[in-house]
Structure 1
Amino acid sequence: MPDVDTASISHQHLWCTMDSLSDCSEALNEVLAQQLKPLIDQELSIVFDDLTTIRAEGSTSLEGVSSPG
């Protein structure tokens, strides 16, 4: 991304960005398809892209937690 200070990006920033991208994925796919069309010598009717989402969920309870081993 132009004009982004990568040193200031935190893990939390990345998670929030993924949520935002997910919320507007249809519009994002349309824009990407329109930008790719001029790069392809054929008529473009369908575009496959990989916007794989990796999600991690969990919960922690401090009471009653025993350490391994």
Structure 2
Amino acid sequence: MQNAIKRSSFYISKYFEALDLGREFDVIVSNPPYVRNLEKVEIKKNVLDNEPHLGFFIEDNDALIFIEK
């Protein structure tokens, strides 16, 4: 049995910019923000001091924007 070799292409995009989401993808990997801003009071200081807020916190009123997209 021969091993099939498939070429891979990688695209990096900031949120919804630059990618044509109308095309077909085999895999999409994402690590979107997932903690609502109102939950900051519950996060330990060492996490707040070391996690990039842009990649960690999401607006309270639209927390599911990435999942819905």
Task: Please say whether Structure 1 and Structure 2 have the same fold, judged by a TM-score greater than 0.5.
Answer: no
TM-score (norm 1): 0.24
Which protein has greater RCO, CA pairs closer than 8 Å, 6+ apart? Answer: 2
- Max radius of gyration: which structure? 1
Greater helix fraction, Structure 1 or Structure 2: 1
Larger strand fraction of residues = 2
